[in-house]
């Protein structure tokens, strides 16, 4: 039987995006050699602030098309404060990709690793392991993106729209329950918590109603509810109790940063953005101009995003080999932290981007 082969579009971008993307591709190659049974072909797409400065374009002419035909897109990070569009905003072609490909399911894993910073003194903090699932195409960001920009009227009043559609919300909740089911098979709790403000807003009551409707198809998964303000409190009081948290765009934006802060810095914040036919994977951090070119970036957020990408491809293709490769990477990170052999400079450790990457590769090969 022919080895299954996948096309990956890579956008390395700017600043530390380039370093962490290179680190991720090296780690994926090590996992691929270890596990075997699939091949990945990369096609690089030129995009970002540096590219814009040289060409006046934020992505190469066929870039969106190339991203669209790939099986997955991997992105380092894009943007430099000194390079801007004419309207003064920073270069961000990836936000357009999110919109074009309708990448509604934003996955942010939040997991505590031994010897990595833990902000809570309670020993149960070592058990934090949850996913914040942030709807990423509508909610309160709907009017912030390409749609529906209302002007400020008479310098006196302005409105933004919070949009919830049945079509996207059904898919989002199904995604949440399927994710909880998959995680439960690997030993997590199997709970989806709907985070909303259904006591106040019609949009949020609708979000919760659809949550209840879709939950009926997943009787094996426990369901819970929390108002977003109470959820913020509970993320500090008892974050170890949660598994999958599903919410609209703006709530997810805020709570994923809060939750990320419980288990380390930006260098641990992985992200996957998934739609019906496309998936884009990138660290949640930016290009970090303050540390670029110094080998100081923690590559783990990007590498964990690479592992999410392999998992996504595994589901798409029904491939055990890809799923094993994703596990090999997350196991190497877990084991490296347990042995205290991964000590990123980001947390005051003695290892830069290259050293952390080499250590993970060593764990994968051993
Ligand atoms: P954006 O708006 O694109 O997210 P930003 O400037 O708000 O960009 P980042 O580029 O993520 O945010 O940087 C925020 C801070 O976190 C900076 O001090 C940066 O050095 C640090 N940082 C971000 N990513 C990493 C990383 N991978 N390793 C170490 N430090 C990082």
Q: Specify if 221 maps to a domain.
A: yes
Q: Distance between CA 342 and CA 129 in Å, rounded?
A: 19
DSSP annotation string for 285-311:
S---TTTTTTT----HHHHHHHHHHHH
Average pLDDT over residues 93-113: 96
Q: Specify if 84 maps to a domain.
A: yes
Domain boundary among 207, 233, 262: 262
Q: What's the confidence (pLDDT) of residue 297?
A: 98
Helices 300-317, 353-365: axis angle to 10 degrees equals 40
Cβ contact 287:78 at 8 Å: yes
Average pLDDT over residues 105-114: 97
Number of domains in the chain: 2
With residue 191 as reference, give the H or E element that holds it: strand 191-196
Same domain, residue pair 126 and 99: no
Same domain, residue pair 131 and 87: no
What single-letter DSSP state applies at residue 89?
Answer: P
Spacing, Cα 110 to ligand 1 middle (Å)? 17
Same domain, residue pair 233 and 309: no
Ranges of H-type helices in the chain: 16-35, 49-55, 63-69, 93-100, 166-185, 202-215, 228-237, 249-262, 300-317, 320-338, 353-365
Question: What are the Cα distances from residue 257, in Å, to 131, 164, 194, 253, 271?
Answer: 12, 22, 18, 7, 12
Compare 117 and 83 and report the one with higher pLDDT. Answer: 83
Cβ atoms < 10 Å from Cβ of 193 = 24
Same domain, residue pair 234 and 289: no
Average pLDDT over residues 226-254: 97
Length of the chain (residues): 366
With residue 193 as reference, give the H or E element that holds it: strand 191-196
Q: Specify if 55 maps to a domain.
A: yes
**Is the CB–ligand 1 distance for residue 267 below 6 Å?**
yes
Same domain, residue pair 257 and 320: no
**Is the CB–ligand 1 distance for residue 268 below 6 Å?**
no
User: How confident is the model over 281-330, as pLDDT tens digits?
Assistant: 999 999 999 999 999 999 999 999 999 999 999 999 999 999 999 999 99
Domain boundary among 262, 291, 322: 262
User: How confident is the model over 28-61, as pLDDT tens digits?
Assistant: 999 999 999 999 999 999 999 999 999 999 999 9
- Name the band, by pLDDT with cuts 50, 70 and 90, for residue 235: very high
**Is the CB–ligand 1 distance for residue 78 below 6 Å?**
no
Question: What are the Cα distances from residue 43, in Å, to 14, 40, 116, 251?
Answer: 17, 10, 34, 34
Q: Specify if 299 maps to a domain.
A: yes
User: How confident is the model over 249-274, as pLDDT tens digits?
Assistant: 999 999 999 999 999 889 999 999 99
Of 64-68, 151-155, 354-358, the range with the lowest mean pLDDT is 151-155
Beta bridge partners of 105: 135, 274
Query: How many whole angstroms from its chain centre is CA 319?
Result: 22
Q: Specify if 225 maps to a domain.
A: yes
Same domain, residue pair 341 and 234: no
User: How confident is the model over 308-318, as pLDDT tens digits?
Assistant: 999 999 999 99
Compare 353 and 95 and report the one with higher pLDDT. Answer: 353
User: How confident is the model over 131-161, as pLDDT tens digits?
Assistant: 999 999 999 988 776 555 667 778 888 888 8
With 70 as the cut, is the pLDDT of residue 218 above it?
A: yes
- Give the residue whose CA is nearest to atom 25 of ligand 1: 267
- Give the residue whose CA is nearest to atom 1 of ligand 1: 286
Q: What's the confidence (pLDDT) of residue 143?
A: 78
- Give the residue whose CA is nearest to atom 8 of ligand 1: 286
Same domain, residue pair 143 and 234: yes
**Is the CB–ligand 1 distance for residue 290 below 6 Å?**
yes
With residue 110 as reference, give the H or E element that holds it: strand 105-111
Range(s) of the domain holding residue 31: 1-103+275-366
Spacing, Cα 167 to ligand 1 middle (Å)? 34
Spacing, Cα 358 to ligand 1 middle (Å)? 22
Same domain, residue pair 122 and 256: yes
- Give the residue whose CA is nearest to atom 5 of ligand 1: 286
**Is the CB–ligand 1 distance for residue 305 below 6 Å?**
no
Same domain, residue pair 285 and 250: no
Q: Distance between CA 21 and CA 301 in Å, rounded?
A: 10
Best of 76, 269, 286 to mutate for ligand 1, by most ligand atoms within 8 A of CB?
Answer: 286
Q: Specify if 186 maps to a domain.
A: yes
Q: Distance between CA 119 and CA 265 in Å, rounded?
A: 10
Phi, psi of 227 (to 5 degrees): -70, 150
Q: What's the confidence (pLDDT) of residue 211?
A: 98
Cβ contact 99:146 at 8 Å: yes
**Is the CB–ligand 1 distance for residue 63 below 6 Å?**
no
Q: What's the confidence (pLDDT) of residue 18?
A: 98
Spacing, Cα 283 to ligand 1 middle (Å)? 10
Domain boundary among 262, 295, 319: 262
**Is the CB–ligand 1 distance for residue 260 below 6 Å?**
no
Spacing, Cα 13 to ligand 1 middle (Å)? 14
Spacing, Cα 271 to ligand 1 middle (Å)? 14
Same domain, residue pair 96 and 125: no
Please, which residues have CB within 8 angstroms of residue 295's CB and are 6 or more apart in sequence? 19, 352, 353, 354
Q: Distance between CA 40 and CA 10 in Å, rounded?
A: 12
Same domain, residue pair 98 and 195: no
Task: Look up the CATH number of the domain holding residue 353.
Answer: 3.40.718.10
């Amino acid at each position: 039987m022919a080895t299954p082969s996948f096309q990956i579009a890579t956008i390395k971008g700017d600043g530390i995006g380039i370093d962490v993307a290179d680190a991720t591709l090296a780690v994926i190659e090590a996992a691929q050699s270890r596990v075997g049974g699939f091949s990945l072909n990369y096609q690089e797409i030129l995009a970002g602030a540096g590219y814009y400065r040289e060409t006046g374009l934020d992505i190469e002419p066929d870039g969106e098309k190339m991203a669209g035909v790939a099986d997955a897109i991997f992105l380092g990070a894009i943007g430099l404060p000194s390079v801007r569009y004419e309207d003064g905003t920073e270069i961000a072609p990836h936000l357009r990709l999110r919109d074009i490909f309708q990448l509604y399911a934003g996955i942010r894993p939040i997991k505590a690793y031994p010897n990595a910073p833990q902000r809570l003194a309670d020993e149960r903090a070592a058990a934090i392991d949850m996913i914040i699932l942030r709807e990423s195409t509508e909610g309160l960001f709907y009017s912030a993106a390409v749609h529906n920009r209302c002007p400020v009227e008479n310098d006196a009043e302005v409105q933004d729209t919070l949009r919830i559609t049945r079509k996207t919300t059904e898919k989002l909740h199904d995604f949440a329950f399927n994710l909880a089911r998959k995680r439960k098979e690997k030993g997590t709790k199997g709970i989806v918590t709907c985070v909303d403000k259904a006591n106040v807003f019609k949009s949020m009551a609708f979000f919760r109603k659809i949550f209840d409707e879709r939950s009926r198809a997943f009787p094996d998964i426990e369901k819970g509810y929390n108002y977003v303000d109470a959820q913020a409190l509970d993320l500090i009081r008892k974050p170890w109790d949660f598994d999958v948290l599903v919410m609209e765009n703006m709530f997810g934006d805020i709570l994923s940063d809060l939750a990320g802060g419980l288990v380390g810095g930006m260098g641990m914040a992985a992200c996957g953005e998934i739609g019906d036919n496309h998936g884009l994977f990138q660290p949640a951090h930016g290009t970090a101009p303050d540390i670029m070119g110094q080998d100081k970036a923690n590559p783990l957020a990007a590498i964990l995003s690479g592992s999410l990408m392999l998992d996504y491809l595994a589901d798409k293709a029904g491939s055990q080999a890809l799923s094993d490769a994703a596990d090999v990477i997350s196991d190497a990170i877990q084991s490296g932290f347990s042995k205290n052999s991964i000590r990123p400079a980001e947390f005051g450790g003695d290892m830069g981007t290259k050293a952390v990457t080499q250590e993970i590769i060593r764990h994968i090969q051993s």
